[in-house]
């Protein structure tokens, strides 16, 4: 049985980590851009509706965010080879660099805190992160986003 305080603690620690990272000027894109680029990298080529489902937003919001990423040169829009009405998105080399740089800077900022944990805690954290990602991926693949 899951304890509600465990969920609250996870949300709290994740929120603190994100707030710490977003205070760093070099990570100004962490809010929406970096997670969006992560979804596109993992799922490319990805349609607007699939992006919305994986990112957890409505299709209109997904369209706006993808257009913003395209304007910055971080994603490229292509037409599906099988259906001319369908547009797919993928990272450009600039988008790959943006994502890699943001992840590296985030790791640089969080590493000192993680280095203070014993190896057994780090191993447990790795297992939990992997398991939680698997569960979230499974949920994302079955959820339908409603506008």
- Per-residue pLDDT at 113 exceeds 60: yes
Query: Residue 77, SS3?
Result: strand
- The dihedral through the CA atoms of 61, 66, 71, 77 has a sign that is negative
The answer to whether position 39 is within a domain reads yes
> Domain limits at 109?
4-142
The answer to whether position 147 is within a domain reads no
The mean per-residue pLDDT over the stretch 35-61 comes to 93
The mean per-residue pLDDT over the stretch 140-145 comes to 61
Question: pLDDT over 90 for what percent of the chain?
Answer: 52
The mean per-residue pLDDT over the stretch 21-32 comes to 72
- Per-residue pLDDT at 145 exceeds 50: no
Work out how many domains the chain is built from and give that number.
1
C-alpha dihedral (124, 43, 40, 27), degrees to nearest 10 = 10
What CATH number is attached to the domain comprising 106? Answer: 1.10.10.10
The answer to whether position 17 is within a domain reads yes
The answer to whether position 33 is within a domain reads yes
Provide the pLDDT for residue 89: 97
């Amino acid at each position: 049985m899951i304890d509600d305080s465990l969920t609250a603690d996870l949300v709290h620690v994740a929120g603190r980590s994100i707030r710490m990272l977003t205070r760093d000027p070099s990570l100004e894109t962490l809010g929406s851009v970096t997670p969006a680029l992560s979804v596109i990298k993992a799922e490319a080529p990805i349609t607007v509706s699939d992006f919305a489902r994986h990112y957890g937003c409505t299709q209109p919001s997904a369209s706006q965010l993808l257009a913003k990423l395209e304007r910055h040169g971080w994603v490229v829009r292509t037409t599906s080879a099988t259906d001319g009405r369908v547009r797919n998105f993928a990272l450009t080399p600039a988008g790959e660099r943006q994502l890699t740089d943001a992840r590296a800077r985030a790791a640089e900022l969080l590493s000192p805190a993680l280095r203070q944990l014993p190896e057994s805690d780090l191993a447990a954290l790795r297992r939990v992160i992997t398991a939680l990602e698997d569960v979230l991926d499974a949920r994302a693949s079955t959820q339908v986003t409603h506008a």
